[in-house]
């Protein structure tokens, strides 16, 4: 069964303390791997799409990477405004390609 | 999130009433997806629609739930005879083409349903 697991469930960082969030997936064929950010009371905001192992994408303090089994969201020198829940999702190449989401990592960055 | 419009943002219904949630996709998008997010749980897919067609409803409960995306107007998610377990955030997303084409989906701000 295709599935996605995110870790850790929660992460507390000091401002400027870099870290990484993990997204492990089990899928027979990967169509795409997606990262979203979700603030409380808001809808998920799109960050990145990765399609193949070895691919990397960056946006400000965030960098997403992809291997054959997992994806990492690296946060460099985070700021309090980076506090949010980060969601990972994948689309499998078989079936209807509907994105399947993990439960997310809740990130809090303290000033 | 800009562009996908959902309303109402918050809705309170008594048990047994009907809830109707509306979603207007981003301009130029013709594909709509509905997800449900329960407290402490992830986003769960419900239904995927194109104009006048249901493409995939594998995540939709068999009873009381229905969805449509008419030729004119917004997509509607309808929940009949609501129960307390229906209390959740319902998110709509849209894409310009079918997801199989590789298009990313973009979410609205959600509709929060509370059943009392």
Rounded CA-CA distance B94/B107 in Å is: 7
Rounded CA-CA distance A21/A86 in Å is: 8
Determine the pLDDT at residue B37: 96
Rounded CA-CA distance A52/B13 in Å is: 45
Are residues B20 and B8 in contact, defined by beta-carbon separation less than 8 angstroms? no
Rounded CA-CA distance A11/A72 in Å is: 14
Q: Which two tokens stand for residue B76?
A: 């509607």
Which of B23, B105, B114 best probes binding to A when mutated, by most A CB atoms within 10 angstroms? B105
- Measured between beta carbons, the chain B residues lying within 8 angstroms of A104 are 42
Rounded to the nearest angstrom, the minimum Cα separation between A91 and chain B is 9
Are A101 and B110 a contacting pair at CB < 8 A? no
What confidence tens digit (pLDDT) does each residue in B16-34 have? 999 999 999 999 888 999 9
Question: Cα torsion at A106, A111, B1, B2 (round to 10°)?
Answer: 170
What confidence tens digit (pLDDT) does each residue in B64-88 have? 999 999 999 999 999 999 999 999 9
- pLDDT values of chain A reduced to their tens digit, one per residue, 111 residues: 678 999 999 999 999 999 999 999 988 888 889 999 999 999 999 999 999 999 999 999 999 999 999 999 999 999 999 999 999 999 887 766 788 899 999 999 999
Are residues B26 and B103 in contact, defined by beta-carbon separation less than 8 angstroms? no
3-class secondary structure for chain A?
CCEEEEECCEEEEECCCCEEEEEEEECCCEEEEEEEEECCCCCCEEEEEECCCCCEEEECCEEEEECCCEEEEEECCCCHHHCEEEEEEEEECCCCCCCEECCCEEEEEEC
Mean pLDDT of the residues in chain B: 92
Determine the pLDDT at residue B5: 97
Rounded CA-CA distance B67/B79 in Å is: 9
The confidence band for B99, taking pLDDT boundaries of 50, 70 and 90, is low
Residue in chain A nearest B88 by alpha carbon: A41
Determine the pLDDT at residue B1: 47
Can you list the positions of beta strands (E) in chain B?
5-7, 10-13, 19-24, 31-37, 43-50, 53-56, 65-68, 75-79, 88-95, 106-107, 111-115
Q: Nearest CB to A96: which of B4, B56, B107?
A: B56
**What percent of chain B is modeled with pLDDT above 90?**
81
Q: Give me the residues of B, 54-113, that contact A with CB < 8 A.
A: 55-56, 58-59, 91, 98-100, 102, 104-110, 112
Rounded to the nearest angstrom, the minimum Cα separation between B46 and chain A is 10
């Amino acid at each position: 069964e295709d599935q996605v697991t995110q870790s850790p469930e929660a992460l507390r960082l000091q401002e400027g303390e870099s870290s990484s969030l993990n997204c492990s997936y089990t899928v027979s064929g990967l169509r795409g791997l997606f990262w979203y950010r979700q603030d409380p009371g808001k809808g998920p905001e799109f960050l990145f799409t990765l399609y193949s192992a070895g691919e990397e994408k960056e946006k400000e303090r965030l960098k997403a990477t992809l291997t054959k089994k997992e994806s990492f969201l690296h946060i460099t020198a985070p700021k309090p405004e980076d506090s949010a829940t980060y969601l990972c999702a994948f689309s499998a190449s078989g079936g209807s390609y509907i994105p399947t989401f993990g439960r997310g990592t809740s990130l809090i960055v303290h000033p | 999130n800009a562009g996908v419009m959902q309303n109402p943002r918050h809705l309170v219904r008594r048990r047994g009433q009907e809830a109707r949630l509306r979603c207007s996709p981003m301009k130029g998008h013709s594909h709509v997806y509905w997800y449900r997010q329960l407290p402490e749980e992830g986003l769960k897919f419900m239904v995927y629609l194109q104009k006048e067609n249901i493409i995939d409803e594998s995540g939709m409960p068999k009873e009381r739930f229905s969805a449509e995306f008419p030729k004119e107007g917004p997509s509607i998610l309808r929940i009949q005879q609501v129960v307390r377990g229906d209390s959740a955030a319902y998110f709509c997303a849209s894409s310009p083409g079918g997801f199989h084409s590789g298009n990313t989906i973009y979410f609205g701000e959600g509709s929060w349903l509370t059943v009392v």
